[in-house]
Amino acid sequence: MGGAAGGSIQRGHDPSEASMLDTLRVATEIMAPTVATGVIKRRPRVMAANEKLGADRNAIELAQQLRERYGPGPLRLRMPGRSVALVLSADDVGTLLAGSPDPFTPASDEKRASLARFQPHGALISQGSARTRRREINEAVLDTPKPLHRLAAQFTTTVREEGDQLLLAADADGELSWSAFNRAWWRVVRRVVLGDAARDAETVTDLLASLRRSANWAYLGRTDTDAREEFDRGLRRHVDRAEQGSLAALIADSGDSDEATAQVPHWLFAFDAAGMAAMRTLALLASHPEPARRATAEVDKVDEGPAPLPYLRACVLDTVRLWPTTPALLRESTLSTMWGEKPMPPHTTFLIYTPLFHRDSRTLPYADRFSPDIWLDGTARRNPALVPFSDGAGMCPGRNLVLLLVSTMLARLLESHSYQLTSDTRLDSEQPLPATLDNFTLRFGLTPR
Ligand code: HEM
């Protein structure tokens, strides 16, 4: 691989061109199920159907077969009027993410079409100097590099309080269900982002959910401008309160509160994925005795304050490796790029289908196993394609905050109870894990420890 030369960039593998039939298979077996599940807001019914049909497993196997047939270079698809390539090698994933935002911008056409409906000024769909500024604001408020956010003490208290309430209700119900957990999780999210006064402000997050549902349709359909204006007004009211101990207070101190407020819809939207990751991690711990023993031992060693909880964080990271909440990472080239000996035109969309790399049974001994240790012993760091939070300059700026809140919630749950998975989908530590895990139907029995 070499550097930039005359507007082109020399890169790894030669691309190849898919046949019409294989293009059709990629469109129907990889792209369509991903889009149908809801890229911006998951559709529970489609998720359940995908789980039943094994759609994700089928998609991973197809991508593996295509790599064997066409070689590791990006596979150009025959899409009328568009240049689209499916990425097939881990090195090329590394190249694309290291080359973001220029010449490989995260602000692809598809993402702009959908996310602009509720976060037109979000960093992810911005370019040039606007992107730089918005990225900086995200990092400043979210304390991106810090394992413990500067407000970690308040956030930990919030998570523990909501965890206490959740467990009281679960003890009374005799089970912990996804819907009970999700309600508690959104209380945590509203308190952390907007302040305690927003704990029960469901209208604002419900409005966002409805805007996100319409964003699932990307180029199709239209935005409900009334809902959008109502959401913006409601959000502004909460952010303007700048309640101490919440991200809203940091927005007020950021020096550009308008620009910082414009990032909040993305934060709220992305916390959905964190709730899904929390419940899926609990499902893994409920079915894997040795990791559960190690997680509980870690929890028993810490007190109520904020703690780094490295093992629990590794469990969460491995959960989002196994079931990535952003399975399609898109990058669009801003100029002509060279791959091996061949050029690819500007405005090529590169599709990184992360389950291919996270679950690659041909190359990873741990592909379908719960393996938190790979996040602790350097194994994950050496693989450029294990990217549940992306990588490079477009890496998720909320990664550490997510790991703090989710690990703290799991610590609270594990501190006082043990869990048995009672939903239909059973996970077995002796069997390969399924490629899809429907979070909406997860249910647990619980026993006081
Ligand atoms: C389990 C939870 C989460 C996961 C797995 C996750 C993962 C990701 C991934 C893969 C990207 C890159 C997307 C792309 O390149 O197309 C991303 C971007 C981003 N995430 Fe997260 N995220 C999570 C939660 C959050 C939260 C809670 C926040 C904010 C509080 C957040 C803020 C952002 C922002 C602002 C970007 C855009 C960054 C940029 O373009 O520079 N994320 N996230």
pLDDT in tens, 105-154: 998 777 677 677 767 888 877 888 999 999 999 999 999 999 999 999 99
What are the start-end ranges of the H helices in 253-369?
Answer: 257-261, 264-287, 289-301, 310-322, 354-358
E strand intervals along 91-194: 104-105, 176-177
Q: What gap in Å lies between CA 136 and CA 134, rounded to an integer?
A: 5
Question: Which three-class secondary structure state does DSSP give residue 447?
Answer: strand
Torsion of Cα atoms, 249 then 251 then 257 then 259, to 10°: -160
User: Does any ligand 1 atom lie closer than 6 A to the CB of residue 312?
Assistant: no
Dihedrals φ, ψ of 116, to 5°? -60, -15
CB 122 within 8 A of CB 114: no
- CA geometry: angle at 249 spanning 389 and 266, to 5°? 30
User: Does any ligand 1 atom lie closer than 6 A to the CB of residue 123?
Assistant: yes
Q: What is the mean pLDDT of residues 386-397?
A: 97
Cα of 144 from ligand 1 centre, angstroms: 11
Residue 334 has pLDDT above 50, yes or no: yes
Domains and CATH numbers, the chain: 4-448 (1.10.630.10)
State which ligand 1 atom lies nearest to the alpha carbon of 138: 35
State which ligand 1 atom lies nearest to the alpha carbon of 406: 1
Question: Which three-class secondary structure state does DSSP give residue 85?
Answer: strand
Cα of 271 from ligand 1 centre, angstroms: 9
Q: Which amino acid is at 433?
A: L
Ligand 1 pocket test target in 151, 396, 402, 409 with most atoms within 8 Å of CB: 396
The owner of tokens 């959000």 is 235
Q: Which amino acid is at 385?
A: A
User: Does any ligand 1 atom lie closer than 6 A to the CB of residue 142?
Assistant: yes
Residue 438 has pLDDT above 90, yes or no: yes
Helix (H), strand (E) at residue 93: helix 90-98
Dihedrals φ, ψ of 277, to 5°? -65, -40
What are the tens digits of pLDDT across the range 239-267?
Answer: 999 999 999 999 999 989 999 999 999 99
Residue 440 has pLDDT above 90, yes or no: yes
Q: What is the mean pLDDT of residues 32-38?
A: 74
Cα of 326 from ligand 1 centre, angstroms: 9
User: Does any ligand 1 atom lie closer than 6 A to the CB of residue 325?
Assistant: yes
Of the listed ranges 46-55, 86-95, 127-136, 195-204, the one predicted with least confidence: 46-55
CB 287 within 8 A of CB 421: yes
Q: What gap in Å lies between CA 270 and CA 41, rounded to an integer?
A: 10
User: Does any ligand 1 atom lie closer than 6 A to the CB of residue 401?
Assistant: yes
Residue partners of 229: CB distance under 8 A and separation at least 6: none
Atom 2 of ligand 1: nearest residue by CA position: 274
Q: Give the up-direction half-sphere exposure of residue 103: CA atoms within 13 A in the CB hemisphere.
A: 21
User: Does any ligand 1 atom lie closer than 6 A to the CB of residue 329?
Assistant: yes
Atom 31 of ligand 1: nearest residue by CA position: 398
Cα of 116 from ligand 1 centre, angstroms: 16
Helix (H), strand (E) at residue 213: helix 202-215
Task: Print burial letters for 273-307: b (CB count within 10 Å at least 16), e (below 16).
Answer: bbbbbbbbbbbbbbbbeebbebbbebbeeeeeebb
Residue 305 has pLDDT above 60, yes or no: yes
CB 352 within 8 A of CB 335: no
Dihedrals φ, ψ of 17, to 5°? -115, 125
Residue 344 has pLDDT above 90, yes or no: yes
User: Does any ligand 1 atom lie closer than 6 A to the CB of residue 396?
Assistant: yes
- pLDDT value at residue 212: 74
- CA geometry: angle at 317 spanning 315 and 320, to 5°? 110
Q: What gap in Å lies between CA 192 and CA 236, rounded to an integer?
A: 16
What are the tens digits of pLDDT across the range 37-64?
Answer: 766 677 788 788 788 888 899 999 999 9
Q: What is the mean pLDDT of residues 206-211?
A: 80
> For the chain, what is the mean pLDDT?
91
- pLDDT value at residue 97: 96
pLDDT band at 220 (very low <50, low <70, confident <90, very high): low
